[in-house]
Amino acid sequence: MAIHIERGNIVEVARGPRKRRMVPGSALLDGLAVVWTHWRESFRMNRDFSDIHGTFTQEYPDEQPKLPEAYRNMPILLYDDASGHELCTSCFQCARICPPQVIHMTQAKDPVTGKPVPAVAEFIIEYDACMSCGFCAEVCPFDAIKMDHNFELSTVDHPGLTVHKQELLRPISYYQRIAPTFWAEAEAGAMKKLQGNVKRRPDVIGLAPQLTEMLAARRRELAEQAAAAPPAPAAPAAAPAGEARKLTPEEKAAKLAAIKAKNAGAKGEAPPAAATPPATEGMSPAEAKAAKLAAIRAKNATKETAPAPPAAAAAPSTEGMSPAEAKAAKLAAIRAKNAAKNAAEGSAPPAETAAPTAEAAAPAAETAPLDAKAAKLAAIRAKNAAKKAAEGGGEG
């Protein structure tokens, strides 16, 4: 079965007004009429979008365009107008996030200690490769890097598009003028962090380099503070904290003598001769003073740790003894005390009298029961002390 397709009649569509009969030169006149209409309408004021006429060109560069606050062109660095300190702390966050890797920086260091401080020593941005993405401004935790509104950067000097820190720095008031709302939101946190970082910046580190007058005033202030400070001791006897000073041979000898004297005192022995103050010939005044001080301390330590005289000086305990045993123990203790005193004074009793006395005390102690052990021990010590005293008197 054949398919029948109905075909309609041809309809002629008239476009535009009915064409008049072509007159030589009429097309030229039509073109001139369009030009005349546009030229005349260009003098009318465009009050709103419903009544638009003429052109929309701006008298640039006499009239600068008003850019929105979020407009971004190239990154800049900020510093505080009042103190002159830069907000940047060289945390390297912007350099890490930069997609084309055009940000380069070095951290400042304390000239005295060599330790890093929260300030930037050099900051470089390659403007010719920057893509104006604004990631660096968004990630900066200190609000130190912002996007500028300046777009007039055309130049024939290609190396000049590698911009250093001094050319990047702008005062906070500059950014506040081009983006007042954005800075009002970030001002409180940025200034609080800046004050904390300024306390850790010594000398003039962190100050904007173009502020020459402020740098000079800061240096004068530091010089006055150094002049007013009391002078440090020329030769301190003790080494500074955190720094070990190497001892001289004389100081080592004095220290060793003090240790030996202290050990001898703890053991109950007489202090060695080395405990006396060492000779200070050939030493500097500071070394001689240190050696004498060590000897004095050793002597005092010996006195404090010197043991008491022999046990005879202390009366033995008489608990659990009979009256006779207690009396014998007390008598032995008294005689031992007297013998020790005579030996110390150099007037020891003759051996003939000392020995029998001690020997007479011994039988009484020997006959005592086991409870009189303390009395027997005191008698033996008294006998030994008398014997030593006798030997010392014979030698004299």
DSSP state letters, 317-330: P-TT--HHHHHHHH
Return the pLDDT at 313.
Answer: 43
The reply to whether 198 and 86 lie within a common domain is: yes
The reply to whether 332 and 291 lie within a common domain is: no
Specify the higher pLDDT residue, 308 or 203: 203
The gap between the terminal CA atoms of the chain, to the nearest Å, is: 164
pLDDT band at 107 (very low <50, low <70, confident <90, very high): very high
Residue 22 CA, chain-centre distance (Å), reads: 94
351 has a pLDDT exceeding 80:
no
The per-residue pLDDT for range 139-159, each reduced to its tens digit, is: 999 999 999 999 999 899 999
pLDDT band at 53 (very low <50, low <70, confident <90, very high): low
The reply to whether 189 and 104 lie within a common domain is: yes
Specify the higher pLDDT residue, 35 or 327: 35
Q: Are 255 and 215 in contact (CB under 8 A)?
A: no
Q: Are 109 and 116 in contact (CB under 8 A)?
A: yes
Question: Is 157 inside a domain boundary?
Answer: yes
263 has a pLDDT exceeding 70:
yes
Specify the higher pLDDT residue, 273 or 336: 336
Specify the higher pLDDT residue, 133 or 359: 133
The reply to whether 87 and 187 lie within a common domain is: yes
The reply to whether 108 and 186 lie within a common domain is: yes
Own/partner pairs for 365-368, CB < 8 Å, 24+ apart? 365/328, 365/329, 365/332, 368/321, 368/325, 368/328, 368/329
Return the pLDDT at 215.
Answer: 82
Peptide bond just before 233 cis, omega within 30 deg: no
Question: Is 282 inside a domain boundary?
Answer: yes
How much of the chain is helix, strand and coil, in % rounded to 5?
45, 10, 45
User: How many CB atoms neighbour CB 37 within 10 A?
Assistant: 11
Return the pLDDT at 103.
Answer: 96
The reply to whether 142 and 196 lie within a common domain is: yes
Say which amino acid occupies 150.
N
Question: Domain total for the chain?
Answer: 3
- Quick one: which of 336, 354, 357 has its CA closest to 391? 354
Return the pLDDT at 137.
Answer: 96
Question: Is 36 inside a domain boundary?
Answer: no
For 87, 252, 277, 281, the CA distances from 285, given in Å and listed in that order, are 51, 16, 15, 10
The per-residue pLDDT for range 288-303, each reduced to its tens digit, is: 666 677 667 666 765 5
Question: Is 212 inside a domain boundary?
Answer: yes
Give the residue carrying structure tokens 């007297």: 338
The pairing of beta strand 103-109 with beta strand 162-163: unpaired
Euclidean distance between CA atoms 234 and 193, whole angstroms: 40
Return the pLDDT at 226.
Answer: 78
Question: Is 199 inside a domain boundary?
Answer: yes
Return the pLDDT at 353.
Answer: 44
The reply to whether 110 and 204 lie within a common domain is: yes
Return the pLDDT at 13.
Answer: 64
Question: Is 300 inside a domain boundary?
Answer: yes
- DSSP at 157: -
Q: Which domain holds residue 118?
A: 75-221
pTM above 0.85, yes or no: no
Least confident of 55-59, 112-116, 259-263: 55-59
3-state class (DSSP) for residue 90: coil
The reply to whether 292 and 197 lie within a common domain is: no
Q: Give percent of the chain above pLDDT 90.
A: 35
The per-residue pLDDT for range 62-71, each reduced to its tens digit, is: 888 889 999 9
Return the pLDDT at 59.
Answer: 79
Q: What mean pLDDT is predicted for residues 336-361?
A: 55
The reply to whether 273 and 174 lie within a common domain is: no
Specify the higher pLDDT residue, 37 or 165: 165
Length of the chain in terms of residues written: 396
Q: Are 377 and 366 in contact (CB under 8 A)?
A: no
Return the pLDDT at 197.
Answer: 93
Question: Is 98 inside a domain boundary?
Answer: yes
Q: What kind and span of H or E run contains 77?
A: strand 75-79
298 Rama sector, left if φ>0, alpha if ψ -120 to 50, beta otherwise? alpha
Return the pLDDT at 163.
Answer: 95
The reply to whether 83 and 172 lie within a common domain is: yes
Q: What mean pLDDT is predicted for residues 238-267?
A: 69
Greatest Cα-to-Cα distance within the chain, rounded to the nearest angstrom: 174
Domain end among 249, 274, 307: 307
The reply to whether 318 and 383 lie within a common domain is: yes
Question: Is 235 inside a domain boundary?
Answer: no
> Which CATH number characterizes residue 102's domain?
3.30.70
The reply to whether 368 and 281 lie within a common domain is: no
pLDDT band at 261 (very low <50, low <70, confident <90, very high): confident
